[in-house]
Amino acid sequence: MAFNIRDIDETQAPLLDHLVELRSRLMRSIFALIIGFGVCFYFADPILGILVQPLKDAFPEGEGQLIFTKLYEVFFVELKVALFAGFFVSFPIIANQLWAFVAPGLYAKEKKAFLPFLIATPILFTAGASLAYFVVMPVAFEWFLGFEGDAGGLEVNALPSAGEYLSLVMQFILAFGMSFLLPVLLLLLNRAGIVQREQLVAARRYVIVGIVALAAIVTPPDPGSQLILAVPLLLLFEGSLLLMRWQERGRKPDEEETSEDAPETASSKSESSA
């Protein structure tokens, strides 16, 4: 059997085309992130003011301040704020580039199955981040500031630094945002056949313990924020089980149709062969 080098070149061509397309998609995503970072860095002070608002509301009116103990601390805080906000601003473009790269390799049925997860991801993340910003952080900050007072005749005042406060806010937002993606993860695993609904129902008690432990790890050590995260996660878990049941009911008619078509196809083949 003759070995033709041209055959190797033809098989390598599609791979090279995919790599070139992947490179162009990545460059567009990075370019969008850089533009978003630049725009958000210009508005870093107003964005930081928005992030500081829950702490400002937790302090008594006219009191409270953010300090910095290093000369470069606020500059790096604004860089982090710009990068953090720039990613959210550029995420629609990044997600669009990801979908444009993956979609051509999917069947129409697979596109319909995958597209809802791509749409639900930013919605659920935004819902979790909003819960953290509007509900959890005000409650947690008021609880933290409740430790102000006297200790052994000395006055104890809260003087949070800008860098530590931003790290705490990012921890809140990312923890709640990523935790709210639990339904997407469970439904994808169920769709791929890795996890079955019956297995999750049987392991419900262990899931509850895991959710409570996760809430205790990813949130600051106050019971209020841990409870506010654990309860929505439990509701999202139960909602995922309901969606799995709905998906299974939708699959059964398709399976029945394919099973009914199979004998007809076999009989038609036998008739044609006869």
pLDDT band at 152 (very low <50, low <70, confident <90, very high): confident
pLDDT digits (tens, 9 = 90+) for 169-202: 998 898 889 889 888 888 888 887 788 888 888 9
Closest CA to 39 of 5, 85, 101, 107: 85
Closest CA to 126 of 90, 182, 176: 176
Distance CA 161, CA 168 (A): 11
Higher pLDDT, residue 137 or 12: 137
Q: How far is residue 24 from each of residues 16, 91, 106, 154, 237, measured CA to CA in Å?
A: 12, 17, 20, 61, 38
pLDDT at 164: 92
- Coil, helix or strand for 2? coil
pLDDT at 31: 96
CB 132 within 8 A of CB 175: yes
CB 198 within 8 A of CB 158: no
Measured at the CA of 85, the angle between CA 84 and CA 89, to 5 degrees, comes to 125
**Interior/surface letters 243-272, b for 16+ CB within 10 angstroms, e for the rest:** ebeeeeeeeeeeeeeeeeeeeeeeeeeeee
pLDDT digits (tens, 9 = 90+) for 67-121: 998 889 999 999 999 999 999 899 889 988 988 888 887 777 777 777 788 888 8
Tokens of 119: 């749409």
pLDDT at 223: 77
pLDDT at 109: 77
pLDDT at 8: 43
Q: How far is residue 138 from each of residues 59, 130, 156, 224, 232, measured CA to CA in Å?
A: 10, 12, 21, 11, 18
pLDDT at 12: 52
pLDDT digits (tens, 9 = 90+) for 244-271: 888 777 665 555 554 454 444 444 444 4
pLDDT (mean) for 137-164: 86
pLDDT at 231 over 60: yes
pTM for this structure? 0.76
